[in-house]
């Protein structure tokens, strides 16, 4: 314990932000400190750990191997301390300044974030929500450590300690621009297959919609592709491409981009969207509040 007595925990906060920002000026702005104060904190960190920790390069302040190795344990320790201080007082949405982090996809952001931001503005004006891209072992680790509060979507491979609740199931719809010369509701599979398609190469879970397109005879290698759903409405609205996307995204995008939609002549399993959290934070006030908000706003009542 003697080394801990000599360590100012505020230095670890500076360390974590330096690891993220790689820039002393950016850390100073983020922590509302002067640049000399951040430089002094870095000096004290170097003296404490006997290492340069961050070396100035053309790419910014790059971490040494020791600093890289410290990154995970320091972030986990600070997250646990943050939850400890939060647990010491009840969560009051109207006065809280908490920053909550949710792992979700780009299509999840389109569906969930506007309502969550509106709810925060009305009921919890000091609360901020960050969206993150994580999956698999990375998501498990961040949920375990408390650095991610919730996950929204369809995530495979989450194991011990993770609780989940189904929110809703949805099918798929095919988007096409108004005035498309051939696309129409009820078009047969042969005509559907003959059209050019926009493929979302990282469609989740496990590319099931892309597998269905292949089974229907659509040659994916011959089509245009993008990695995520967010760009799809912009592209489809100005081309004669068809794009098969989750139903809720299609219904949301169609009126804003002048798009039409049809039920694709494909057999695609329904997409299930779940809410995930770690059992350690089952009774955490902020986590409970956010879960309740999401369930009330988005859970299927049928």
Q: What's the Cα-to-Cα distance from 92 to each of 89, 124, 125, 128, 131, rounded to whole Å?
A: 9, 8, 11, 14, 22
Q: What is the mean pLDDT of the chain?
A: 90
Per residue in 8-36, pLDDT (tens digit) is 788 888 998 898 889 999 999 888 899 99
Which residues span the domain enclosing 181?
172-269
Per residue in 166-201, pLDDT (tens digit) is 999 999 999 999 999 999 999 999 999 999 999 998
Same domain, residue pair 110 and 72: no
Per residue in 133-167, pLDDT (tens digit) is 988 888 998 898 888 999 999 888 888 889 999 99
Q: How confident is the model at residue 85 (pLDDT cuts 50, 70, 90)?
A: low
Domain harbouring 231, CATH code: 3.40.190.10
Same domain, residue pair 103 and 123: yes
**Of 26, 55, 87, which one is at a domain's C-terminal end?**
87
Same domain, residue pair 164 and 178: no
Q: What is the pLDDT at residue 1?
A: 42
Q: What is the pLDDT at residue 89?
A: 64
Same domain, residue pair 282 and 142: yes
Same domain, residue pair 44 and 110: no
- Is the pLDDT at 266 greater than 80? The verdict is yes
Among 155, 116, 117, 113, smallest CA distance to 134 is for 155
Report the alpha-carbon distance of residue 203 to residue 42 in Å, rounded.
Answer: 43
Average pLDDT over residues 261-270: 93
Same domain, residue pair 276 and 164: yes
Q: What is the pLDDT at residue 71?
A: 86
Query: Within a 13 Å sphere around the CA of 143, how many CA atoms are in the beta-carbon half?
Result: 31
Report the alpha-carbon distance of residue 9 to residue 302 in Å, rounded.
Answer: 49
Same domain, residue pair 11 and 128: no
Q: How confident is the model at residue 79 (pLDDT cuts 50, 70, 90)?
A: confident
Same domain, residue pair 165 and 214: no
For the chain, the domain total comes to 3
Among 17, 21, 7, smallest CA distance to 49 is for 7
Same domain, residue pair 142 and 176: no
Q: What is the pLDDT at residue 128?
A: 94
Within 10 angstroms of residue 60's Cβ, the number of other Cβ atoms is: 15
Instruction: Look up the pTM and report it.
Output: 0.71
Same domain, residue pair 61 and 115: no
CA 125 and chain centroid, separation: 21
**Of 87, 110, 127, which one is at a domain's C-terminal end?**
87
Same domain, residue pair 287 and 147: yes
Same domain, residue pair 238 and 278: no
Q: What is the pLDDT at residue 86?
A: 58
**Of 40, 65, 87, which one is at a domain's C-terminal end?**
87
């Amino acid at each position: 314990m003697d080394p801990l007595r000599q360590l100012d925990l505020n230095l670890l906060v500076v360390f974590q932000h330096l690891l993220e920002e790689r820039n002393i000026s950016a850390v100073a702005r983020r922590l509302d400190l002067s640049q000399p104060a951040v430089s002094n904190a870095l000096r004290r960190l170097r003296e404490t750990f006997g290492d340069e920790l961050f070396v100035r390069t053309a790419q910014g302040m790059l971490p040494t191997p020791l600093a890289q190795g410290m990154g995970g344990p320091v972030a986990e320790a600070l997250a646990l301390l943050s939850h400890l201080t939060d647990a010491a007082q009840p969560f009051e949405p109207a006065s809280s300044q908490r920053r909550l982090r949710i792992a979700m996809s780009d299509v999840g952001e389109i569906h969930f974030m506007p309502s969550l931001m509106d709810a925060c503005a009305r009921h919890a004006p000091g609360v901020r929500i960050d969206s993150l891209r994580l999956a698999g072992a990375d998501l498990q680790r961040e949920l375990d450590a408390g650095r991610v509060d919730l996950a929204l979507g369809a995530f495979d491979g989450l194991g011990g300690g993770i609780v989940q609740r189904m929110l809703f199931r949805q099918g798929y719809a095919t988007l096409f621009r108004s005035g498309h010369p051939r696309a129409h509701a009820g078009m047969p599979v042969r005509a559907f297959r003959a059209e050019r398609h926009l493929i979302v190469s990282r469609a989740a879970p496990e590319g099931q919609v892309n597998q269905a397109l292949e089974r229907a005879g659509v040659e994916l290698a011959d089509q245009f592709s993008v990695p995520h759903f967010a760009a799809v409405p912009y592209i489809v609205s100005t081309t004669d491409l068809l794009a098969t996307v989750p139903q809720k995204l299609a219904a949301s995008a169609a009126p804003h981009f002048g798009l039409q939609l049809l039920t694709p002549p494909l057999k695609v399993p329904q997409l299930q969207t779940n809410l995930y959290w770690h059992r350690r934070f089952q009774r955490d006030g902020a986590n409970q509040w956010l879960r309740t908000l999401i369930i009330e706003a988005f859970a299927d009542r049928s």
